[in-house]
């Protein structure tokens, strides 16, 4: 199972990624959490100590590895390289682990555009395409709004694509743009999670504006979440209410995915 989380900056993607990673890990899944943001901070939301997080080598910085695996030098135009780099052993060597969650950090993935075949993208794509095997494994990718570098083949391998949205026109606008991109890439299961909602009217705003998306739930505004961030605490452990909401979203996601596969 591969879950990707996208949305406007600051909407709550990293918070949700950490919460879902913990929820799956608690249920006995082996979770591979991928931080695909240039300013990676998923480690913090998982409560991984700063010193440990700093020891993780971002995948994109592994020039030698990328060159070895793809046959091309990162950041250099031209040259031929294989698009199927071997990635099976990357997690062990370049990750931090806690409570059944293995964290990988992508670093800056250059390029964009659906046709981008830069070596860093090739590694990201290969990670997504090959990482997942067993039934008891879940990949959770904390992305930014730029989903186009996923590429078509990889995007189709995403089982659930969660778009986070805050009550606000700009956030809704970004959500719609992301969904268009996701559809162009052939991603099937797009879901919405409402974030930082305060009260029924704000929830309704999201429901009304994104009425054709299935909504997994709402991560209501909760000052304890921001407080946990300030203290660098694991959100799931520090804010039981947020953990509870994430568990409900996980259950809803499972319900919808099961329904979808029955309908196929």
Ligand X SMILES: Nc1ncnc2c1ncn2[C@@H]1O[C@H](COP(=O)(O)OP(=O)(O)O)[C@@H](O)[C@H]1O
The helix or strand, by DSSP H or E, that contains position 42, with its residue range, turns out to be: helix 42-45
Among 1, 11, 19, 62, binds ligand X (CB under 6 A): 11
- 18 near Mg ion, rule: CB under 5 A: no
Among residues 83, 137, 188, 221, which is the contact residue for ligand X, using CB under 6 A?
221
Record the tokens describing residue 184, joined without a space. Answer: 């162009």
Q: Does 171 bind ligand X (CB under 6 A)?
A: no
Rounded Cα gap, residues 171 and 192, in angstroms: 12
The two beta strands, 2-7 and 30-35, are unpaired
Among 114, 229, 232, 260, binds ligand X (CB under 6 A): 229
The answer to whether residues 222 and 241 touch, using CB atoms and an 8 Å cutoff, is yes
CB nearer to ligand X: give 11 or 128.
Answer: 11
Burial 8-45, CB ≥16 within 10 A → b, else e: beebbbbbbbbbbbbbbbbeebebbbbbbbeebbbbbb
Half-sphere exposure in the Cβ direction for 206 (13 Å, CA): 28
Helix (H) or strand (E) holding 95: strand 95-98
Among ligand X, Mg ion, none, the one that 81 touches (CB under a kind-dependent 5 to 8 A) is: none
Does residue 72 interact with ligand X by CB under 6 A? no
Please identify which residue in 2, 3, 13, 165 interacts with ligand X, judged by CB under 6 A: 13
Decide: is 15 part of the binding site for ligand X (CB under 6 A): yes
Query: Could you tell which of Mg ion, ligand X, none binds residue 209, using a CB distance below 5 to 8 A set by kind?
Result: none
Smallest distance from the beta carbon of 222 to ligand X, in angstroms?
A: 4
CB-wise, 126 or 150, nearer to ligand X?
Answer: 150
- List % helix, strand, coil for the chain (3-state, nearest 5): 45, 15, 35
Question: Does position 195 bind Mg ion by CB under 5 A?
Answer: no
H-helix or E-strand spanning residue 25: helix 13-26
Residue of the chain from 219, 243, 246, 249 that contacts ligand X (CB under 6 A): 219
Residue from the set 8, 11, 14, 165 that interacts with Mg ion by CB under 5 A: 14
Determine if 96 is a binding residue for ligand X (CB under 6 A).
no
> Residues interacting with Mg ion, by CB under 5 A?
13-14
> Residues interacting with ligand X, by CB under 6 A?
7, 9-15, 195-196, 219, 221-222, 225-226, 229
């Amino acid at each position: 199972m591969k879950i990707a989380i996208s949305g406007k900056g600051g909407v709550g993607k990293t918070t949700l990624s950490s919460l879902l990673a913990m929820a799956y890990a608690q249920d006995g899944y082996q979770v591979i959490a991928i931080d695909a943001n240039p300013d990676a901070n998923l480690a913090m939301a998982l409560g991984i100590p700063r010193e440990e997080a700093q020891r993780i080598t971002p995948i994109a910085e592994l020039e030698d590895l990328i060159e070895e695996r793809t046959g091309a030098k990162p950041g250099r135009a031209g040259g031929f390289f294989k698009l199927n780099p071997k990635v099976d052993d990357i997690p062990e060597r370049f990750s931090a682990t806690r409570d059944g969650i293995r964290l990988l950090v992508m670093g800056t993935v250059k390029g964009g555009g659906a046709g981008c075949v830069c070596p860093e993208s090739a590694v990201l794509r290969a990670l997504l395409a090959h990482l997942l095997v067993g039934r008891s494994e879940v990949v959770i990718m904390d992305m930014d709004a730029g989903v186009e570098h996923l590429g078509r083949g990889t995007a189709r391998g995403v089982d659930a694509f969660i778009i986070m949205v805050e009550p606000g026109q700009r956030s809704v606008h970004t959500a719609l743009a992301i969904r268009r991109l996701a559809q162009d890439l052939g991603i099937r299961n797009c879901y919405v999670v409402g974030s930082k909602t305060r009260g029924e009217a704000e929830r309704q705003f999201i429901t009304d504006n994104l009425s054709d998306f299935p909504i997994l739930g709402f991560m209501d505004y909760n000052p304890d979440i921001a407080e946990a961030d300030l203290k660098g605490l694991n959100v799931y452990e520090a804010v039981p209410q947020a953990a509870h909401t994430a568990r409900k979203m996980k259950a809803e996601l499972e319900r919808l995915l099961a329904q979808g596969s029955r309908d196929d």
